[in-house]
Amino acid sequence: MGLTPIKLPYQSAKNRLFGVQPRMSSSFQQIPTFNINDPYSHDRQPNRRTARRNGLPINMLVSQQKRISNSRLAVIIFGVVALLAGLILSSVPWVHYIILKNLKIWNGTLSYHYWQKPGVLRLTKVFIFNVTNPDGFLYNGEKPKLQEIGPFVYRENMEKVNIRFNNNGTVTYQHKKILEFMPHLSVIKNDEIKLTVPNIPLLTLTTQANSLPSILKSSLSAILRFSSLTPFKHVTPQQLVFGYDDPLTSLANSYYPKGKRPPKQMGLFLMRNGTLDEVSTIYTGHNGMENFGLLDRVNGMEELPFWKGSCNSIKASEGSFFPPREFTKSDLVHVYDKDLCRVWALRYRKDVVKDGIKAGYYTPDDNLLETVDKNPDNACFCEDNTDCTVKGLQYIGPCQFNAPVYLSFPHFYKADPKLLEDVEGLSPDQEKHETFLKIQPRLGVPLEARVKVQLNLKVEQSNIYPTSNFRSITFPIMWLEEGVSDLPENIHRWIYMATTFVDTAVPLFTYGLILGGALVLVAVFVRTYHQIVFSRENIERGRRSILRRGSSMLVNGQHRLLIVRESYHRISNTVQETDVDAQQLLS
């Protein structure tokens, strides 16, 4: 007799995937096992409950309808969710959104606290040029011999006060700066040494008096003969920086108009200590990061009052934040400082790493202090009575009470060589004297800054006593370095997490989700494809337990079953069949 297939319910790919086992037909759910030699064995058929309790093989073959494996379903859901989450997160800049949300200046954010009261160690280093041959310069025609004394280091405790948020995405405030002398960082105490420097108030007066009629100049010369004023002044660094009594400045304070009135004392940093009068308004970033940290108004005005045309622009940062380079795509950043009297352009030079954080390295643009013939944009900085033909000098008189004060880089770095030829003792050096900023491009936060400028007094020889022997010269007075070397630990950690850590962790996380989800799904499908519905052991046990009633086709008293993926085949009994033949069929 041949093989007669006994069809079981179809085991589909979906059922195998989700662990759904086929349900036996009713005719096979209660099939007994009995011995043909025992005519009463069919009366002792165990019911389903008894069979399950006794662990009979029939329970290996029978399962409830539509019963799904919960564990396999959970694994599939996990794989799908992980894969989709990884794909979505890798295509959406969700981390950048969170970072920029906290970067915007608003009360309560970390960036607000950093901006309002930075807590950084901001140092101002002052280097003063001591004139060692004042008489030789005045009477013997010698070049002034300059001796650099410094640094005299001051800690700048800065915070922003009178803060008011506006409805147009800006914030208005004032600066409060307190300069504290740091003797342990200085070359000597600032009140223990006397230095010889040009008498700035006197030389300013005689230089400006050159435009007066002769009779007025003669009268001024006669008045000054009765004074004790001299072309050079002996002062301590403390006096030069924070002020000393001078009769000319006191006189100017009494008679100048209120808006142009100088302080009662002569001091280069006198107006920088305490709460500044200047009121600034900057963009907070809520209306776009392209203007983040840039000035909107200064003292309520949209431009400076000092110059003509585009030179009055205030589209620049005040130094705390810059528009992220990833948004602007620009190689230039602009900085405004009241003491600089203008906006400075700094150009991106290269990528650097500061304490494990990537940053852009910026230095002043090559055309910043260029002559007008090479950079026509500087023409609006030239007033009618100023000389703009010398490279490396910037007139800042309009914000210094119209004194003939010129700005340059220290030691006339990148300036006209003639300026160096007029004095002795200067030696420009790029590493020591170049201004630079290191700005994180994604956040626009300065990681390190060094602003280095030199103050010079441009003197024009006059026949007014007592400066008639003071030759025309651009005389260096001092140079200073303002900057921040290191950020507070909490700010550095936040910047590191938002940049370096995110650049590494986010791809690992998102691509890890994609890879993990894909591997889980592949593993489930592979396992499903290779999985058989019943094990060989269960087939053998089922072979011994299934017997169609009344059949006389037996092998050793039992029927045989063969499983082939979707159906069982019952093996017929023939005279030639043996147990070995059955085993071969099973294999």
- pLDDT tens for 30-59 read 444 444 455 554 445 555 444 444 444 434
Q: What is the pLDDT of residue 328?
A: 78
Higher pLDDT, 10 or 144: 144
Per-residue pLDDT, averaged over 180-200, amounts to 93
Question: At 154, is the pLDDT very low, low, confident or very high (cuts 50, 70, 90)?
Answer: very high
Q: What is the pLDDT of residue 539?
A: 57
Mean pLDDT lowest among 145-149, 377-381, 466-470: 377-381
Mean pLDDT lowest among 43-47, 160-164, 438-442, 547-551: 547-551
Whether 361 and 352 have beta carbons less than 8 Å apart is answered as yes
Does residue 511 lie in a domain region? no
Question: What 3-state class would DSSP assign to 437?
Answer: strand
Does residue 572 lie in a domain region? no
Question: What 3-state class would DSSP assign to 521?
Answer: helix
Higher pLDDT, 90 or 130: 130
Does residue 22 lie in a domain region? no
Q: What is the pLDDT of residue 535?
A: 52
Helices (H), 12-129: 13-18, 48-54, 58-61, 70-91, 94-103, 110-116
Question: What 3-state class would DSSP assign to 9?
Answer: coil
Per-residue pLDDT, averaged over 459-467, amounts to 92
Q: What is the pLDDT of residue 471?
A: 95
Q: What is the pLDDT of residue 20?
A: 52
Per-residue pLDDT, averaged over 558-562, amounts to 46
Question: At 25, is the pLDDT very low, low, confident or very high (cuts 50, 70, 90)?
Answer: very low
Count how many domains the chain has.
1
Q: What is the pLDDT of residue 65?
A: 43
Distance of CA 129 to the CA centre of its chain: 38
Question: At 144, is the pLDDT very low, low, confident or very high (cuts 50, 70, 90)?
Answer: very high
Whether 562 and 585 have beta carbons less than 8 Å apart is answered as yes
Whether 237 and 128 have beta carbons less than 8 Å apart is answered as yes
Please give the Cα distance from 137 to 320 (Å, whole number).
44
Is residue 561 over pLDDT 50? no
Q: What is the pLDDT of residue 569?
A: 44
Per-residue pLDDT, averaged over 314-321, amounts to 92
> What residue type is assigned to position 535 of the chain?
S
Q: Which of 371, 396, 417 lies closest to 477, judged by CA?
A: 396
Detail the DSSP E strand segments found in 338-472.
Answer: 342-354, 357-364, 394-395, 405-408, 436-439, 446-459
Percent of the chain surpassing pLDDT 90: 44
Please give the Cα distance from 358 to 285 (Å, whole number).
22
Q: What is the DSSP letter of 497?
A: I
pLDDT tens for each residue of 440-457: 998 999 999 999 999 999
pLDDT tens for each residue of 208-262: 898 889 899 999 999 999 888 999 999 999 999 999 999 999 988 888 877 778 8
Q: What are phi and psi of 325, to 5 degrees?
A: -65, -25
Q: What is the pLDDT of residue 192?
A: 87
Q: Is the peptide bond before 257 cis (omega within 30 degrees of 0)?
A: no
Name the token pair of 418.
Answer: 């003639």
Please give the Cα distance from 563 to 92 (Å, whole number).
51
Cβ atoms within 10 Å of 343's Cβ, excluding its own: 20
Percent of the chain surpassing pLDDT 70: 77
Q: What is the pLDDT of residue 582?
A: 41
Does residue 278 lie in a domain region? yes
Is residue 298 over pLDDT 90? yes
Question: At 68, is the pLDDT very low, low, confident or very high (cuts 50, 70, 90)?
Answer: low
Instruction: List beta partners, residue 89.
Output: none
Question: At 315, is the pLDDT very low, low, confident or very high (cuts 50, 70, 90)?
Answer: very high
Buried b (16+ CB within 10 A) or exposed e, 42-75: eeeeeeeeebeeeebbbebbbeeeeeeeeebeeb
Q: Which of 64, 127, 203, 179 lies closest to 478, judged by CA?
A: 127
Helix and strand numbers (H, E) in the chain are 18, 20
Question: At 316, is the pLDDT very low, low, confident or very high (cuts 50, 70, 90)?
Answer: very high
Instruction: List beta partners, residue 147.
Output: 130
Does residue 1 lie in a domain region? no
Helix axes 70-91 and 502-530, enclosed angle (nearest 10)? 150
Q: What is the pLDDT of residue 568?
A: 43
User: CA dihedral defined by 128, 132, 136, 141, rounded to 10 degrees?
Assistant: -50
Question: What 3-state class would DSSP assign to 461?
Answer: coil
Does residue 261 lie in a domain region? yes
Q: Round the average pLDDT of the chain to a whole number and report it.
A: 80
Q: What is the pLDDT of residue 514?
A: 85
Handedness of CA 101, 107, 113, 117 (dihedral sign): positive
Cβ atoms within 10 Å of 282's Cβ, excluding its own: 25
Is residue 580 over pLDDT 70? no
Does residue 149 lie in a domain region? yes
Q: What is the pLDDT of residue 491?
A: 87
Whether 314 and 302 have beta carbons less than 8 Å apart is answered as yes
C-alpha to C-alpha distances, 196 to 145, 200, 509, nearest whole angstrom: 11, 12, 65
> What residue type is assigned to position 526 of the chain?
V
Per-residue pLDDT, averaged over 64-80, amounts to 69
Is residue 546 over pLDDT 70? no
Question: At 488, is the pLDDT very low, low, confident or very high (cuts 50, 70, 90)?
Answer: confident
Question: At 382, is the pLDDT very low, low, confident or very high (cuts 50, 70, 90)?
Answer: confident
C-alpha to C-alpha distances, 193 to 149, 150, 196, 224, nearest whole angstrom: 10, 11, 10, 28
Name the token pair of 393.
Answer: 């000098």
Whether 169 and 175 have beta carbons less than 8 Å apart is answered as no
Whether 566 and 10 have beta carbons less than 8 Å apart is answered as yes
Q: Which of 428, 417, 397, 393 lies closest to 407, judged by CA?
A: 393
- pTM for the whole thing? 0.76
Instruction: List beta partners, residue 446.
Output: 439
Domain span at 166: 95-504
Does residue 458 lie in a domain region? yes
Whether 293 and 115 have beta carbons less than 8 Å apart is answered as no
Please give the Cα distance from 47 to 208 (Å, whole number).
122
Per-residue pLDDT, averaged over 180-208, amounts to 93
Whether 409 and 434 have beta carbons less than 8 Å apart is answered as yes
